[in-house]
Structure 1
Amino acid sequence: MTPGTDLTGYLTRYPQEAGLSEEDPAAVLDRYHTEDYELVNDGVLLDRTRLLDHIRPVRKRAAGLRVEVEQALVDGDQVAARYRLIAEMSKGDIITTEVYMFGELAPDGRLRRAVQATRPIAST
């Protein structure tokens, strides 16, 4: 399964595997993204090193993660999605983020680049 073959599956599985599993974060990242993957999140460029640096603290703070996908589209090597990421923190807080993501796929179906705009929304 890659983002190119199952974008909804990727959106729901990747946060779980990256943020909650015992698997090596680099192996999880490489399963779904190319080696030169870049994510621009709210104008901030995150390369492989910065993404891995982000995953490790999430594993310490998050007790649960789930994704509610509203829209997920694949057209050739382009993807777009609108979804909510709901994080239940170890201290009991729930953080809900709405995400608008646009990306480019590599020929093997993994993500090569993604641009996201996010906004916090009231948790329900």
Structure 2
Amino acid sequence: MKQLNSIEDPKQFMADFYTGFTRDLLAGDEDAALVVDRYHTPDIVQVADGNPIDRQKLIDHTRPVRKNRPTIRMDVHDAVVDGDLLAARYTLHSSQRGKDVAIDVHFFGRFAPDGRMREAHMLTRAVS
């Protein structure tokens, strides 16, 4: 995983982070906690629309993802990096069981020096 302070293209880093996490999660039978820990620090807290998700909740969330096996695609519209902070605006496209969903996301995150996510705040809205 690339270090945040060495990336040349924040938009590509953001897309690679999420698509890599999903790919690794769906690739096999590796323990979900190991996959989560590869991409997130142990003290990870993600707040999505006011709902906090810690490491254990993130691991628990992987069960339905693995069961439903969605395909995802991200269109990262804007992304900037300042030190360990990354802000991005993207649209997440997901398809599972014949249902397509698009979600606009405004992301504000902090990453560890090794490129793992430490903290994230996301505001989302479904796109019709």
Instruction: Give TM-score scaled by structure 2 length.
Output: 0.82
Runs of 4+, deviation exceeding 4 Å: none
Q: What are structure 2's unaligned runs of at least 5 residues?
A: 8-12
C-alpha change, 1:3 and 1:17, in structure 2 (3 Å) is: farther
Distance 1:55 1:2, change over 3 A: farther
Asked whether the equivalents of residues 8 and 72 of structure 1 are also in contact (C-alpha less than 8 Å), the reply is no
Mapped pair 1:115 → 2:125 = no
User: Against the structure 1 CA distance between its residues 59 and 12, is the aligned structure 2 distance closer, same or farther, given a 3 Å change threshold?
Assistant: same
| Alignment correspondent of 2:10 | none
| Offset, 1:16 | 3.1
For 1:75 and 1:48, how far apart are their aligned partners in 2? Answer: 25
AA paired with 2:47? V
The answer (yes or no) to whether the contact 2:3–2:113 under 8 Å persists in 1 is no
1:42 alignment partner, one of 38, 49, 52: 49
Q: 1:75 to 1:101 in 2, by over 3 A?
A: same
Identity of aligned residues (%): 43
The 8 Å contact of residues 45 and 55 in structure 2, kept in 1 or not, is answered as: yes
The alpha-carbon deviation at position 3 of structure 1 amounts to 6.5
Q: CA RMSD in A?
A: 1.8
Letter paired with 1:121: V
* Partner SS state of residue 63, structure 2: helix
Report if aligned partners of 1:16, 1:65 keep a CA contact under 8 Å in 2: no
Which residues of structure 1 form unaligned runs of 5+?
none
Task: Quote the residue 2:72 is aligned against.
Answer: 65
